[in-house]
Amino acid sequence: MKVVVIGGTGLIGSKLVEKLNEHGHEAVPAAPNTGVNTLTGEGLAEVLQGASVVVDVSNSPSFEDDAVMEFFRTSTTNLLKAETEAGVTHHVALSVVGTERLQESGYFRAKQAQEELIKASGIPYSIVHATQFFEFMKSIAAAATDGDTVRLAPIKIQPVYSDDVAAAVGRTAVGTPVNGVVEVAGPDTFQLDELIRKGLAAKNDPRTVVTDPHAPYFGAELKENTLLPGPDARIAETRFADWLAQQK
């Protein structure tokens, strides 16, 4: 089965291409550095020839509100049009658990727009909602930092290892389209401020984590369960403590 992975040279994409090829599929990484640009349409028709499945794990290079909306709308529109012309029979996209609850954030409004375009396309689809990756804890801390203070809300979070996300996306890609959302999350639930506090301490980072119930998360105020998956989520195996121990 030929599977084209949009964003196939990034964190999730590169892992996904490797896993699919290991299982005997023809996984093709598609990104600007491989000659495929979903914003301009360059290389799309060529790379999609003979493809059964397209997996979109690409991300916007800018998180500024207008730029990220433009990226996901333009990229997804171009991609879906090219897929229709190529006869692709399954579109898979990676998105985020809680997207629909985070609409105060420009980034998540853009992800919601992406999902709506996919649902309206007429192409059979599967959307994988993942919780925050272990690797993103550093970015979450950075976004919440002011000087030497990291201000975070005491909400629940169930982060997941990127390898486990890639495996879940791969299983979804070679399966039957669900025409809906599949959720994947890590095995352990934490309180966000405590998790970042422990992570910074493990790195001997001198920043102080301050607990603030109203601290924004990429522009959105969070409720206790905003970032948690539903009861039917697929629970990955890798624990945060085990992953963190391997980073030292």
Bridge partner list, 234: 184
Section 143-148 average pLDDT: 94
The pLDDT tens digits of the residues spanning 25-63 come to 999 999 999 999 999 999 999 999 999 999 999 999 988
Domain that holds residue 52: 2-246
User: pLDDT class for 203, splitting at 50, 70, 90?
Assistant: confident
Domain of 45: which CATH number?
Answer: 3.40.50.720
For residue 26, the 8-state DSSP code is E
E-strand spans in 31-77? Answer: 53-56
The pLDDT tens digits of the residues spanning 168-201 come to 999 999 999 999 999 999 999 999 999 999 889 8
Q: CA-CA distance, 151 to 213, in Å (whole number)?
A: 9
pLDDT of 17 > 70? The answer is: yes
Question: What proportion of the chain, given as a percentage, has pLDDT over 70?
Answer: 100
| Tally of domains in the chain | 1
User: pLDDT class for 219, splitting at 50, 70, 90?
Assistant: confident
